Amino acid sequence: MGVITDEARGWAEKEFPRFIFTVTARDIAQFAHATEATDQVHFDAEAARAAGFHDVVAPALFPYVIRMQASNLVDRTRLEPDGSPSADVPPIPTRRAMAGETSVELGDPIVAGDVITVEKRVLDLYEKEGRSGPLVFVQMEFTFHNQHGRLVARELFTRIYR
């Protein structure tokens, strides 16, 4: 029994490359439009300055955009048939992925011009027996720091494979 092999445990210890993302006003506007965030601080630098930021400020959950680019902005040969990035898929026989739990702690706001460094690792890999077979849980940790070395976010994200 058990689908988590030594190979999968070895995969969980691998290092993911550090990812650096320069935030533009366009990135912020795209995410704000996509989520129907209407506050002008996301679009208008003057409105953002009036609110105390030095440029347009990202919606609170914008770090998701950065971590997705860190995973998905790869050569097409490094994507699975379902579009998922191969590097995030553990070597296990169960391949259908679902979103599980997400925890986000926020630090300093992200504003246009910030250079965000993302560090990513597998925090936990475990399995449970589900009704229709084994479920494998992969918990990833992402930490986001800005160019001043300040923490802007830390996110834990669990993906479930069945």
Residues that bind another protein (CB under 8 A): 27, 30-31, 33-37, 39, 41, 51-52, 59-61, 64-65, 68-69, 72-73, 79, 82-85, 96, 98-106, 109
In what order do the strands lie in the sheet containing 115-130? 19-22, 115-130, 133-145, 151-161
Instruction: Let me know: does 107 contact 116? Beta carbons within 8 Å.
Output: no
Instruction: Let me know: does 140 contact 120? Beta carbons within 8 Å.
Output: yes
Which of residues 76 and 148 has its CB atom nearest to another protein in the complex?
76
* Whole-number Å distance between alpha carbons of 130 and 144: 33
The minimum distance between CB 124 and another protein, in angstroms, equals: 16
Run of H or E residues at 36: none
* Whole-number Å distance between alpha carbons of 78 and 118: 20
The minimum distance between CB 112 and another protein, in angstroms, equals: 15
Which of residues 7 and 46 has its CB atom nearest to another protein in the complex?
46
The minimum distance between CB 146 and another protein, in angstroms, equals: 16
Which of residues 4 and 41 has its CB atom nearest to another protein in the complex?
41
Instruction: Let me know: does 6 contact 101? Beta carbons within 8 Å.
Output: no
The minimum distance between CB 127 and another protein, in angstroms, equals: 18
Which of residues 10 and 93 has its CB atom nearest to another protein in the complex?
93
